[in-house]
Structure 1
Amino acid sequence: MKRAEILKQLIDKTGLNTKAFAEKAGLPYTTLRSMLMRGVGGASVVNVIKVCKALGITVEQLEEMASTDNYDIKTIAAHHDGEDWTEEELEAIEKFKKFVRSERNKG
């Protein structure tokens, strides 16, 4: 369930609700809701990858966060170079950057 909790937090930080995020990730809302409620373990690898990709993280980064006892979502780089981003995606990146800066300022 730790992976699902981490995903919930990261999705919240995008500023999108679960339904809008599911659409962005290319998943049915019910699939994403199931992943977040029942855990990532029962989800298909393809769906986990889609969610991670929409968050701008790798599956390896999700695993690293989940394997840490006191995980703290601090920095996940969003690279703009070489990729076409929609306005909505750029907005989500900017919101996440603001979140990361605010976390940095708390320390």
Structure 2
Amino acid sequence: MTIVERVKKLAKEHKISLAELERKTKLSNGTIRRWDEKTPGIDKVQKVADYFNVSVDYLLGRTEKENFEPELTEKDERDIQKELQKIIEGLEGKNGYAAFDGQTLDDMDEEDKELLIASLENSLRLAKRISKQKFTPKKYRK
């Protein structure tokens, strides 16, 4: 799929014509259609990518992922496990925080305990990904 085909696909999904896209991104008339014949400048491609909130790599066909999806590193995984362990320790014992209906983790049956821990772990992973996405500068995104 060429860059023009990808832009047309995105424009169709967002219910916008190429002419309207060019106006909104301050590109001259017919600029996008000429990208089939002439290599576009990166600044122009970046404007279109920013408009659709996709990566330049997606428009160029280098990846099929439209958006930057941060990968969790081994360090991130260790941090998640440490934080999860702190939360679990805070929910255990007589002095533990009430986790569900006034129960501590020790009061729960094994199935509920496993579900709660899995939910906490998923929440920590999601929070880590959102944080990485929000605070990673665009120039370092894949």
- What amino acid sits opposite 2:39 in the alignment? G
Larger helix percent: 1
1:47 aligns to 2:44 (yes or no)? yes
Q: Extract structure 1 runs of 4+ deviating beyond 6 A.
A: none
Flag structure 2 segments of 5+ consecutive residues without an equivalent.
Answer: 69-142
Report how far residue 10 of structure 1 moved.
0.7
Alpha-carbon deviation of 1:12? Answer: 1.2
User: Percentage identity across aligned positions?
Assistant: 21
Q: Is the CA contact (8 Å cut-off) linking 2:4 and 2:32 kept in structure 1? A: no
After superposition, residues 72-87 of structure 1 pair within 5 angstroms as 76=67
Q: Give me the CA root mean square deviation.
A: 2.5
Partner residue, 1:103? none
Q: Is the 8 A contact 1:25 1:53 kept in 2?
A: no
Matched, 1:61 2:58: yes
Alignment partner, residue 21 of structure 1? 21
The structure whose RCO (Cα within 8 Å, separation 6+) is larger is 1
Structure number with bigger Rg: 2
Distance apart, 1:76 and its partner CA: 4.3
Gaps of 5+ in 1: 78-107
State TM-score, norm by structure 1. Answer: 0.51
User: TM-score, normalized by length of structure 2?
Assistant: 0.40
Q: Partner letter of residue 60 of structure 1?
A: D
